[in-house]
Chain A
Amino acid sequence: MAQNVDPYYAQRSDSSKHSDEGRTNPTDNNAVTKRLQKELMTLMMSQERGVSAFPEGENLFRWIGTITGPKETVYETQKYKLYLQFPNSYPYTAPFVKFITPCFHPNIDNNGNICLDILKDKWSALYDVRTILLSIQSLLAEPNIDSPLNALAAELWCKPEEYKKHVTDTYKQV
């Protein structure tokens, strides 16, 4: 499937998304917990390189994820923390994901909100924590310049020197 979204379509379905979410009946929390437990199990067993995640405290519906910057990019040496919150309707609706660590990137705003199609209209019940984190990791390497949340980053993307400076400066803010 094409990952490139027709902007017109994306916007349209974006606006309809809210009504969709409101309509979702809250499913059995038991099933959600069960699925999240399964995901945690597979994440711990697989020992995926570059991404990891663990529930924050006792609550299985809030996780902290970590991704390392993809190799051979300006993000290479950095480690980013993310916050994931799962709705009761998970996995039928996407979890809420944002960066905790400040990140200079065309599709990530100053508050850490991420613009990524699979977290919005392209969400599928098949996606899990692992694939979300891997998608965000590859988003770091391949930003979508056409619909930026951070206009400056989008502008500087073609100037690697300046871009890298901003990336390191933003990262140091922690």
Chain B
Amino acid sequence: MASSTSSPNSSKNLNDASGASDTAEKEEKKEDRTFECNICLDTARDAVVSMCGHLFCWPCLHQWLETRPSRQVCPVCKAAISKEKVVPLYGRGSTKQEDPREKVPPRPAGQRTEPENGSSFPGFGFGDTGFHMSFGIGAFPFGFFTSTFNFGDPRPSAAPHGTPQHLEEQYLSKLFLWLAVLFILWLLLA
């Protein structure tokens, strides 16, 4: 729920706008410098951003990392970087301007996670916050009898079948079920 995604800066002007009037062109050039590759000093082509936030053409950065395999650092701030840990920038323009003669491996793909589905119970519409309800009986040693209803908070998904963790979870849930049955019986008889 609380995962806040920082919105990336708008990536307009990533591709050269062509065919503008002279004055507009000049202004645009100034703006474009923000999107210049730090290695070839040209507008970044197949742009990637390092984890330290510096912009490069993918071919340029790749070449830089190939040149010195022993010391993989950002040319700008000398932070440690690696090929795997760069974020590609996808602008609106076509990204297929690559020269096939350049044998550069394809730019790493962006990592995409599905947005979390907030309210799975439309009836409990408490805005964006999840609905929490807890119900508990018992003193200290029986603390685990408390049952918890959490709506909105996703539970950790069950472990895959066959793994030791899965077997363990199965065993635990059976154990707790029996304990609960015994406890209720004890309550009724006492």
Contact across chains for B64 and A125 when beta carbons are under 8 A apart: yes
* Sampled A-B contacts (19; CB under 8 Å): A1-B77, A1-B78, A13-B71, A16-B70, A20-B70, A23-B67, A25-B66, A34-B40, A35-B41, A35-B42, A39-B41, A92-B64, A92-B67, A93-B67, A121-B71, A125-B60, A125-B64, A126-B75, A126-B76
Kindly name the residue among B68, B71, B73 whose own CB sees the greatest number of chain A CB atoms within 10 A.
B68
Residues of B within 8 A of A92 (CB): 39, 63-64, 67
Whether a CB of chain B sits under 8 angstroms from the CB of A144 is: no
Residues of A within 8 A of B102 (CB): 28
Residues of A within 8 A of B66 (CB): 25
Contact across chains for B67 and A89 when beta carbons are under 8 A apart: yes
**Chain B's nearest CB lies how many Å from the CB of A13?**
7
Question: Residues on B close to A: CB < 8 A?
Answer: 38-42, 60, 63-64, 66-68, 70-71, 73, 75-78, 102
Contact across chains for B40 and A31 when beta carbons are under 8 A apart: yes
Whether a CB of chain B sits under 8 angstroms from the CB of A27 is: yes
Question: Residues on A close to B: CB < 8 A?
Answer: 1, 13, 16, 20, 23-25, 27-28, 31, 34-35, 38-39, 89, 91-93, 121, 124-126, 128
**Chain A's nearest CB lies how many Å from the CB of B102?**
8
Residues of A within 8 A of B70 (CB): 13, 16, 20
Residues of A within 8 A of B77 (CB): 1
Contact across chains for B78 and A124 when beta carbons are under 8 A apart: yes
Contact across chains for A27 and B68 when beta carbons are under 8 A apart: no
In the complex the two chains form, what is the Cα distance from A16 to B71 in whole Å?
11
In the complex the two chains form, what is the Cα distance from A126 to B71 in whole Å?
15
Contact across chains for B78 and A125 when beta carbons are under 8 A apart: no
In the complex the two chains form, what is the Cα distance from A92 to B38 in whole Å?
12
In the complex the two chains form, what is the Cα distance from A12 to B24 in whole Å?
51
* Candidates B42, B60, B76; contact of A124 at CB < 8 Å: B76
Kindly name the residue among A39, A121, A125, A126 whose own CB sees the greatest number of chain B CB atoms within 10 A.
A125
Question: CB-nearest residue of chain A relative to B70?
Answer: A16
**Chain B's nearest CB lies how many Å from the CB of A35?**
6
